[in-house]
Amino acid sequence: MTTRAAAFPGVHVIVPVKNLAGAKSRLTPGIDESARRGLVLAMLEDTLRSLSASPAVSAVTVVTPDAAVAAVATRCGACCVDEQQALIRATADGGASGGPRASLNAALTGAAYRVRDAAAPAHLAFVQADLPSLRPGEFTAAAASAIASAAAPDAPAGHGRAYIADRSGDGTTAVFVSGATTRLRLAFGTDSSRRHAAQGAVALHGSWPGLRADVDTVADLHHVRRLGTGTATAAMLRRIGVPDTNPR
C-alpha cells in the first residue's frame, strides 16, 4: 500500500484475524455461522479500506491462518503473513508461549518481527480487524497522537508505546509502537487495557468512536449501526436483519 503522505511518518499496521471456524461465537444464537463468517470478512474489508485511506499508513499486513481472510486482505491491497509462520518467527526470538491469548500476541509479535526484518518501519500499529465504523481521519489523528506522545520531552526513554481502549474501557482496539527497536510487549485479550497500562503504554484519550467500536456482541452491532459503517458491513447488517441507518 502506498497511501502515506510525504510529510507524515509512515505507520505499518498489523491486523490479526483468527480462523473463520467458530468466529464471533458471542453473536449466537441469533446469527448463524455462515452469516458470522460473512460479517467477519465484511468488517475486515471495511477496516482495511479505512486504514488504507489514512495518510498515516504506509502499509498493512494481515496475519491469519485462514485462506478466505487472506483473499479479502489481498483484494484490499494488504500483505499477508500466515499465522503459523508468524508463530515460528516469534518462537525463534522467545516470543511465544501457551494459551489463546498468548498465541494471539505471539502471532502479532512474530508478524512484527518479519515486518521489521524486511522494512524496518519507524512506527508500528496493531489494530483489531472488527472496526467497521473506523474513519480514516480517526486513525490519522490517533497515530499522530501516539507518535507525539513518544516524542514528548518528558516521555520515559525508550517507552514508545501507546494504546486505545475500546468503548467499554476494558479491551484494546489498537496499540502503537514508535521506534524501530522499541519492545512490543503486546497484551491483547481479556482486561487488555489495564494490562497495557500496567506495562507502561500510554492511554490515548481522543474522541475516535469508530476506532473504539469493535464488535463482539449483538449490542455492539447495533452500536456500529448507529455510528455508520463501511459498505461491506452495511450490506451484511441488512442481510442478517440489522439495517444500518447511517452507511458510509
How far from 70 is each of 32, 80, 110, 140, CA to CA, in Å?
Answer: 22, 6, 17, 25
The C-alpha cell 441469533 sits at 30
On whether 47 is known to bind a ligand per the annotation, the reply is no
Select from 121, 120, 116, 94 the least CA-distant residue to 105: 94
Select from 36, 47, 31 the least CA-distant residue to 173: 47
Strand pairing report for 161-165 and 202-203: parallel
- Residue type at position 93: D
Contacts made by residues 88-97, CB under 8 angstroms, sequence distance 24+: 89/113, 89/114, 95/184
241: its cell numbers: 436483519
How far from 8 is each of 112, 122, 143, 168, CA to CA, in Å?
Answer: 21, 11, 10, 31
On whether 179 is known to bind a ligand per the annotation, the reply is no
On whether 95 is known to bind a ligand per the annotation, the reply is no
Q: Which residues make Cβ contacts (< 8 Å) with residue 96, sequence separation at least 6?
A: 87, 90, 102, 103, 106, 109, 110
Answer for the pair 132, 46: CB distance below 8 angstroms, yes or no: yes
Extended beta strands in 103-185, E state? 123-127, 161-165, 172-178
Residue stretches of the annotated binding site: 172, 189, 192
Residue stretches of the annotated binding site for phosphoenolpyruvate: 172, 189, 192
